[in-house]
Structure 1
Amino acid sequence: MLIKAIIIDDERPARAELKKLLQAYPEIEILDEAQNSKEAIEKIHEHNPDLIFLDIQMPGQNGFELLSELVSAPKVIFTTAFDEYALKAFEVNALDYLLKPVDSKRLAEAIQKLSAQFQSQVQQKENKTVLTENEQFFVKDGDKCWFVKLSDVRLFESAGNYAKVYFDNYKPLILKSLNALEERLDEHHFFRVNRKHIVNLKWISKIEPYFNGGLLLELKNGEKIEVSRRQSAKFKEMMSL
């Protein structure tokens, strides 16, 4: 199992030292390097890595601000000279937090944890089937209950660990995160347009250019949803626009 990674650090010697340590792990393929957040975001979207080794203190945006820019973040191992960010690092679900200079034993522990998580994800994906648009699912909201066909759902909206399901004139909550839904939904019918929304492609009636290189979608019922600038490139490619 090959794990594709990018090293993000403003210090060239730190990047070189980490690359040297990672030579002991042939399962980790270093795709690229970046020295600041702007460059890192571009390279993450270009390569779509499984993992980033991320410094926190960098010129411009710091590591946490970088992560907030991403629609869907890869796994993160922080590498930093400062220990005061450890609690915040785990609040954003970082896989590990390594202090510089990186100790080879601590790196080994992080890679072991990483490998275990990837193996678990592979097994979970093998056990999960993609939901087709013709399948139904059960929704309960207070005293109301529905069997909802996926083709009738025009939109999913993030609400923390829940998601709002938009169908007919209803928008009840289900106990599924948007990330979990994205894994199960057929990408030929549903598209993650931004951090908060997944849209049913068959419900789109109009596509217009929007601010900062983004797009604005109008659904058949008149609702308008913005496609983020970064997702717009994917959307255009998929729709051959």
Structure 2
Amino acid sequence: MKVILVDDEPAARGLLRDQLEAFEDIEIVAEAKNGVEAIVQINDHAPDLVFLDIQMPVLDGFDILPYLKERPMIVFCTAFDQYALKAFEEQALDYLLKPVEDDRLDKCLKRVRREWAKIENLGKVVANERGLEKIVCQQNQVHLVVWLKDVALFRKEGRYTLAMGLNGSEYLTDLTIAHLAEEIKDPNFFQINRSVIIRKQIVRSFRVLGSGAGELTTADFGSFSLSRSRVVDFRAWLQEK
């Protein structure tokens, strides 16, 4: 079973790592010291299980969940007990308090193994249903957290997606347009075609062409084509308050 440890405290990661090494079916494939690293490592390694701290700088343990391309089994591991209800609302398998006692960890892993067997039979992990509020992007090979409220549009850019800020800043994310369209719950965003998701605030005008497709203009970001199949929904979306 492939496992990733996420905790901003090196001592806590080290202690849990030592405890897990006693179990032959556990392979620790990566560790992360913050939420941004966690997203990269989890999406790169596709682990079966993540031991996830909650209180971390910038992105906490709950914040990272919408960015995961596939949801692994999650065990929250924290020094605080007040997040237990929210953890189980997020379909966590278990909630461990640090420092984790050996017998409690053993009990947790028995539960994990039972769930893992079910997942293998189903062939998939439970889908992530939380909406995105922050996007993990790259700029000059540095990972940054960009708030959705600061994004003007998303546009397919080769194998990446370009996130363009309202202030003109440009960032790259490896989240696809299709994934973003599914995960963004903010009604101010609309997917106008296969390659572009746009914020209502920047739309200045649009017209329907003879072909039935549309064309819209923005104040600062140029013009975009609107898929014919999206014209009716787009018109309704513009009129929504």
Structure 2 length normalisation: TM-score?
0.54
- Aligned to 1:60, the other structure's residue is in SS state coil
2:41 is matched with which residue?
43
- Aligned to 2:62, the other structure's residue is in SS state helix
* Alpha-carbon distance between aligned partners in 1 of 2:24 and 2:180, rounded to the nearest angstrom: 33
* Alpha-carbon distance between aligned partners in 1 of 2:76 and 2:92, rounded to the nearest angstrom: 7
Which ranges of structure 2 fall in alignment gaps of 5 or more residues? 130-175, 184-192, 199-223, 232-241
Task: Assess, with a 3 A threshold, how the Cα gap between structure 1 residues 33 and 207 changes in structure 2: closer, same or farther.
Answer: same
Residues 18-57 of structure 1 correspond to what in structure 2 (within 5 A)? 18-57=16-55
1:122 is matched with which residue?
120
2:74 is matched with which residue?
76
Q: CA deviation at 1:14?
A: 0.5
2:229 is matched with which residue?
221
Residues 134-145 of structure 1 correspond to what in structure 2 (within 5 A)? none
Task: Assess, with a 3 A threshold, how the Cα gap between structure 1 residues 70 and 217 changes in structure 2: closer, same or farther.
Answer: farther
Amino acid at match of 2:12: A
Task: Assess, with a 3 A threshold, how the Cα gap between structure 1 residues 14 and 124 changes in structure 2: closer, same or farther.
Answer: same
Amino acid at match of 1:194: H
Equivalent pair of 1:51/1:76 in contact (CA under 8 Å)? yes
1:194 to 149, 154, 179: 179
* Alpha-carbon distance between aligned partners in 2 of 1:94 and 1:207, rounded to the nearest angstrom: 33
2:105 is matched with which residue?
107
1:9 is matched with which residue?
7
Task: Assess, with a 3 A threshold, how the Cα gap between structure 1 residues 86 and 31 changes in structure 2: closer, same or farther.
Answer: same
Q: Deviations over 1:30-63 (max 9, x none)?
A: 1100000011111111111111100011111111
- Aligned to 1:40, the other structure's residue is in SS state helix
Task: Assess, with a 3 A threshold, how the Cα gap between structure 1 residues 118 and 60 changes in structure 2: closer, same or farther.
Answer: same
Percent of aligned pairs sharing the same letter: 40
* Alpha-carbon distance between aligned partners in 1 of 2:179 and 2:102, rounded to the nearest angstrom: 38
Amino acid at match of 1:10: D
Equivalent pair of 1:7/1:32 in contact (CA under 8 Å)? yes
Amino acid at match of 2:179: N
- Count of paired positions: 151
Q: CA RMSD in A?
A: 3.4
1:153 is matched with which residue?
none
Which ranges of structure 1 fall in alignment gaps of 5 or more residues? 127-157, 159-190, 199-205, 224-241
* Alpha-carbon distance between aligned partners in 2 of 1:82 and 1:217, rounded to the nearest angstrom: 50
1:86 is matched with which residue?
84
Structure 1 length normalisation: TM-score?
0.54
Q: CA deviation at 1:207?
A: 5.0
Q: CA deviation at 1:69?
A: 2.9
* Alpha-carbon distance between aligned partners in 2 of 1:208 and 1:93, rounded to the nearest angstrom: 32
Task: Assess, with a 3 A threshold, how the Cα gap between structure 1 residues 219 and 75 changes in structure 2: closer, same or farther.
Answer: farther
Equivalent pair of 1:77/1:94 in contact (CA under 8 Å)? yes
Task: Assess, with a 3 A threshold, how the Cα gap between structure 1 residues 20 and 105 changes in structure 2: closer, same or farther.
Answer: same
- Aligned to 2:110, the other structure's residue is in SS state helix
